[in-house]
Amino acid sequence: MFLKNAWYVAATPDEIDTKPLGRKICGERIAFYRGAEGKVAAVEDFCPHRGAALSLGYVQDGNLVCGYHGLVMGCDGKVVSMPLQRVGGFPCVKSYPVIERYGFIWVWPGNPEKADPALMPDLFWAESDEWAYGGGLYHIKCDYRLMIDNLMDLTHETYVHADSIGQEEIDETPVNTKVEGDEVITSRYMENIMAPPFWAGNLRGNGLADDVPVDRWQISRFTPPSHILIDVGVAHAGKGGKDAPPENRVRAIVVDFITPETENSHWYFWGMARNFRPDDAELTARIREGQGRIFGQDLDVLEAQQRNLEAYPERRLLMLAIDAGGVQSRRVLDRLVKAE
């Protein structure tokens, strides 16, 4: 159950720098590669000659050459040539709209005619010198919607990430959920608390005192098909919270691009953008490492949850206030998939 007419993050540029990449996205087997002038391209990972995987081939003159018998596939899915063959009557394969932007390769697995670049999300932080970004990729064996649930309610931080970003005040503070068109926003504000280890580290990293009370905020924003950006941070207490002046706060955006592979597995592109000390590559690496460790803790939980749901498909789950973000996000998806 996923939208096909949508832009998904498919890969990071480094994954196709030296050779093509075969990756399944929303059930489609796709070969990604750099075509003419380094422009990213994507075609079905299926050679129309004998069914070989085109992603095992190589790029020549901007086209993907099948590594089995040398069929040359064009970026549009039409066969360009093949040694000693007339290829005019050869069947085509699908090609997929792809865009390289914001440091990611985006793909549109559905109807190419509907692939409007204007539908791409606007990620201001990815194009600003005042922000730095670091992130990674996990392959997770569960329905991508379990990850949406996970991120639209951060109560789990208290339990899954108790030693880094979790703290009791999270689940003592009610969460607020609202729906704006196709977007779902959940927010939680905690005032006059002590920063947990991860944020204390960021305060120090930004040259701020970490032993004084802070105001902490978490604002998760779901946009279809399955992108979740979370505005997070702490400010010295009473300075305005999220809107405090930069010298009193550390702010970041947790970046979550959740891309279905199959009905019960997905690619999870996670990362963090921050607007403090953006030039400090060492800090970027340290945050990335910490976040990778923290987000890795979710994997076991989600994969075990998936197995449980498969074992007991008839059981109805609860929908509490803390689940509203996930529930509303699924409603948006249900509506859009139905329209599709």
* Contact residues for its own copies, defined by CB under 8 A: 22, 29, 45-46, 48-53, 56-57, 65-70, 82-85, 90-91, 149, 153, 155-156, 158-160, 171-172, 174, 300-301, 304-305, 307-309, 311-312, 315, 317-318, 320-323
Enter the DSSP assignment of 92: P
The Cα 45–Cα 51 span in angstroms is 9
Query: Measured from the CB of residue 2, what is the shortest distance to its own copies in angstroms?
Result: 18
If the CB atoms of residues 84 and 339 are measured against its own copies, the closer one turns out to be 84
Residue indicated by tokens 């002590």:
194
Least Å distance, CB 203 to its own copies, is 26
Residue with tokens 């005032």: 191
Exposed/middle/buried for residue 165 (C-beta within 10 Å: 0-12, 13-18, 19+): buried
Residue with Cβ nearer its own copies (72 or 120) = 72
Is residue 141 within 8 Å of 260, Cβ to Cβ?
A: no
Question: What residue type is 244 in one-letter code?
Answer: A
State in angstroms the smallest separation of the CB of 189 from its own copies.
15
Nearer to its own copies, 53 or 336 (CB): 53
Instruction: Closer to its own copies by CB, 131 or 144: give it.
Output: 144
How far apart are CB 65 and its own copies at their closest, in Å? 7
Cβ at position 52, least distance to its own copies in Å: 5
Cα–Cα distance for residue pair 187/162, rounded to 1 Å: 20
Q: How far is CA 27 from CA 69, 85, 110, 308, in A?
A: 26, 32, 11, 23
CB nearer to its own copies: pick between 90 and 138:
90
